[in-house]
Amino acid sequence: MNRLLRLQRTISFLKPTQLAFLILRRFFPEPVLKFSHKAVLLRAGVEMEPCIVPVMSRTHENDFLFLNQAKSFPMGEINWASQDMPRLWRYNLHYFDFILDKGRSEDSVKHLISDWIDQNPPGTQTAWEPYTVSLRIVNWIKLFLREDFRKSVEQKWLDSLYLQARWLEKHIEYHILANHYLKNGVALFFAGMYFDGDDAQRWLRKGQKILQEEMDEQFLSDGGHYERSPMYHSICVEDYLDVLNLAQNSGFTDSRLVRELQRRIPRTLTFLNDISMPDGKISLFNDSAFGIARSPDQLFNYAKQVIGYENPPKPSGLSLIEKPESGYFGFRDKADMLIVDCGEVGPDYQPGHAHCDMLSYELMLDGKRVIVDSGVYDYEAGEMRQFVRSTRAHNTIMVDGTEQSEIWGAFRMARRARPLAAHIEKTGPDASRFVGEHDGYKRLPGQVIHKRTINYGAATGWSIRDQLQGRGRHDVENFIHLHPDFRPIAEGRMIYLVNDQGQSIATIHVKGEVDVSLEKAWYCPEFGLRVENDVIKMSAPRELPFEMTYQIKKA
């Protein structure tokens, strides 16, 4: 009964169209398409400037490394099914990002494309899933348009590419939407631009429609992507830059879509610049990891090439990060930065990448990550997936062992926390304050509300004050996750953060009558990589209202 109620609560947030297409896909699958014998025509004048080129790690050309997991195949014998590898690893094999790596020989690329076509007939599981098809279409077209490869393109490949576009048109991911739906639109636009004829014109119109609608739907007024994941924000920004690159260089410059992208992409880049950490990388909120999306600098350089974008310089003194619609707030002072998440979990109809990280934060000191988000390990339903999405994997408060939002499966969420307020302001020339609160525990007896106030001063550091409003007695736990490069040494309620050389780089002073203990957890900055790290836990069973405060100060 509990599972049925949880399922009902999950489904209640979906769009009616999502439910309808879920039912259609399950009970009325599309027939498998077959190759057409009609001539495949290419559109004249289609060009594309060099895009961002991946550099793939490998020992030889039959080695594949995705998600920190490597697999070698015998020369010329690729096992495209690879059931011994995780599902996301298999998806990466079929994305074909690796064919854009200029370090891969032309003979290897030719063999991989032809072998894939021979071994993966239409409808093959994994290979022909719509998201996978979408990425592969774009990667193949990028390769086929490359000046040094155009003359090597074989008719067999064009026939397959055309069929993949026809397949995708029949299998658009209306049941998932969000970044999957956007990828479908990008692929249809690319296929519609690359090919000529009635089918291509239809793909082009459909791709434009999706791209136009989803720019309005998925990007918020502050420039952030509505799934609130810095990694997926970066991926979607690159998608739109690719579309603009292809359109502008192919003479497709008078459309409303192109004009809108030229106007709105700079705002998405400024958002990324503002929330990126002093080390030049993204924060790890909400299914973000290093090594998947292009780095901020790569995107800024690509945008300069495509639209002449100039990245605004970072301020030298104290500045505020204020992205109210996305829910990111913070303080930046030279090479120190704190960023906190107090936004919606994502679009109600697709919170698949949302974590229980309301009012959690990441902190960098002198350009080094010190207090961290736990990141993401994989997308397989299981212990690690449950952990990285959990409240205790984040630098925030947990009440009565209850998750802020009701996460389950690999991507599901039923009841979810809502931000009630969020505000940041300067309180002096070198001081500022953030205040935010959420209702994730309001469903508990006593209707608990969590309010967090973070005060910053250049001389005093960061003061984090947590207030639990409500009634009754509750178990309160507060977590601080440390980067593996630092370890805590506790002396009562004073905790020294020490680096590899034994030097104290900061102190955390816990105030009030609470129990302080040290635990171990996992830090997952990349898919497939987990490193043990230290966690400071403050706990107290208390009658509400109750508050807990700690101070972080550089040594």
pLDDT digits (tens, 9 = 90+) for 237-273: 999 999 999 999 999 887 889 999 999 999 999 999 9
Q: Do the domain assignments include residue 291?
A: no
User: How far, in Å, CA of 432 to CA of 414, rounded?
Assistant: 35
Any domain includes 388: yes
Q: What sections of 57-120 are H helices per DSSP?
A: 87-95, 106-119
What pLDDT is stored for residue 25 in this prediction? 81
Q: What is the pLDDT of residue 38?
A: 74
Task: Return the amino acid letter for 53.
Answer: V
**Arithmetic mean of pLDDT over the chain:** 95
**Within 13 A of 305's CA, how many CA atoms are on the CB side?**
17
Q: How are strands ordered across the β-sheet holding 449-457?
A: 419-428, 431-438, 449-457, 461-469, 546-554, 504-511, 494-498, 487-491
Q: Which pLDDT value is given to residue 410?
A: 95
Residue 35 has pLDDT above 70, yes or no: no
Please, which pLDDT band fits residue 29 given cuts at 50, 70 and 90?
Answer: confident
Query: Please, which residues have CB within 8 angstroms of residue 480's CB and are 6 or more apart in sequence?
Result: 371, 395, 508, 535, 536, 537, 550
**378-407 pLDDT, tens digit each:** 999 999 999 999 999 999 999 999 999 999
- Answer whether residue 407 is part of any domain: yes
Specify the pLDDT at position 260. Answer: 94
Q: How far apart are CA 187 and CA 191, in angstroms?
A: 6
What local confidence, expressed as pLDDT, does residue 416 receive?
Answer: 96
> CA-to-CA distance for 347 and 217, rounded, in angstroms?
10
| Contacts for 310 with CB less than 8 Å, ≥ 6 apart | 304
CA–CA–CA angle 392, 398, 403 (5° rounding): 75
Q: How confident is the model over 341-385, as pLDDT tens digits? A: 999 999 999 999 999 999 999 999 999 999 999 999 999 999 999
pLDDT value of residue 26? 79
Q: Could you report the per-residue pLDDT of 44-53, keeping only the tens digit for each?
A: 999 999 999 8
CA distance linking residue 93 with residue 279, whole number of Å: 30
Residue 461 resides in a domain:
yes
- Whether the per-residue pLDDT at 1 is higher than 90: the answer is no
What distance lies between CA 52 and its chain's CA centroid?
18
Mean pLDDT of 504-527: 96
First to last CA, the chain: 53
Number of domains in the chain: 1
Residue 293 resides in a domain: no
Name the pLDDT band for 514 (thresholds 50, 70, 90). Answer: very high
Residue 471 lies in domain: 318-554
- Cross-strand partners of 494: 491, 509
What are the two backbone dihedrals, phi and then psi, of residue 527, each rounded to the nearest 5 degrees?
Answer: -60, 135
Q: Is 446 domain-assigned?
A: yes
Evaluate whether residue 212 is within a structural domain: no
Would you say residue 297 lies in a domain?
A: no
Specify the CATH number for the domain of residue 326. 2.70.98.70
Average the pLDDT over 145-167 and give the result.
Answer: 96
The pLDDT value recorded for residue 209 is 97
Q: Which residues pair with 521 in a beta bridge?
A: 533
Residue (of 455, 359, 339) closest to 404 by Cα position: 359
